[in-house]
Amino acid sequence: MSDALVIAIIAIGVLAAAGVFAVAFRRPTKDDWEANAPAGARKADKGAIEVSVPEPAAETADGASDPTPLSGVAVITQDTVAAPAEVADDEVSPAEIVYEETPADEQAVTRRNFLKKATFTTFFVWLATMGAGYLSFMWPKVKGGFGADIDAGDATEILSQVLQADGSVTPLFIPEGRAYVIPLTDEQLAASEFEDTTVASGLVALFQTCVHLGCRVPWCSSSQGFECPCHGSKYTSAGEYFAGPAPRNLDRFIVSVNDDNRLIISTGSIVATPRAQAKGVEYPQGPSCI
């Protein structure tokens, strides 16, 4: 599964989940009677009881006066209570709203239940998709591609291609393995710190990535070495550290030659080695490229 496809699937899953959540949770709840009530019932409810504070009573002819309420104390009488708002025949008062329990078999097909199930289904599908995407990234590739054993070609042909008659080197780049194949003579091997597993039939496969901060390291034909344009790290043609901020040699892959004389690069395992003290290859052999 390609990176772009996984990202697209995850994005679609997130958008679908967000959409379903938005639709599901913007609906009023069952307990929210005001949102669920008909417009007429809400209007009737606006006729709230009003409370009036009467003026102090006037003195009577005999000098007595009606009991006057204390200042700030409201007296609510039958007359001061506003009559309940008239409810039109076609309107329904809140008291008349009756909620009936929906039978279980009918609940299963309500829109609300459908949306709930759709929400959870979408969420779990999205979760499964993400899980599958992560697994595909982590799962070791057993067939082709970087991470698998790469058939670089006939070992004898490759050797004649990368080692020139004048002794100079022209690395063969294997895009599928992200590797440079370079030659290494027996003398160079003896003088270097290479491990046997990283040499087969006089060939070595170097990982293309600079061990400093990960730039792809290009080959410099004039100096006969790898020179990183990012921060100036330099390596011999065999990937041995020569200069710059790189902390170690270029990484290598384990290589082998099978019964059919094919060079097999095992890109599933990278061999990292410290900066070479003894170098098997001379560098530089000419002007630098950076």
Distance CA 210, CA 213 (A): 6
Task: Give the DSSP per-residue string, 1-65.
Answer: --HHHHHHHHHHHHHHHHHHHHHHHTSPPTT-HHHHS-HHHHHHHT-------PPPPPB-TTS-B
Rule CB under 6 A: say whether 220 interacts with ligand FES.
no
Rule CB under 6 A: say whether 246 interacts with ligand FES.
yes
Backbone angles phi, psi at 27, to 5 degrees: -75, 145
Residue 288 CB, nearest approach to ligand FES (Å): 14
Q: How many residues sit in the footprint of ligand FES (CB under 6 A)?
A: 13
Rule CB under 6 A: say whether 169 interacts with ligand FES.
no
Judged by CB, which is closer to ligand FES: 54, or 245? 245
Judged by CB, which is closer to ligand FES: 94, or 218? 218
Rule CB under 6 A: say whether 230 interacts with ligand FES.
yes
Judged by CB, which is closer to ligand FES: 54, or 214? 214
Rule CB under 6 A: say whether 250 interacts with ligand FES.
no
Rule CB under 6 A: say whether 247 interacts with ligand FES.
no
The SS3 call for residue 275 is coil
Rule CB under 6 A: say whether 244 interacts with ligand FES.
yes
Q: Which residues bind ligand FES (CB under 6 A)?
A: 210, 212-215, 228, 230-233, 244-246
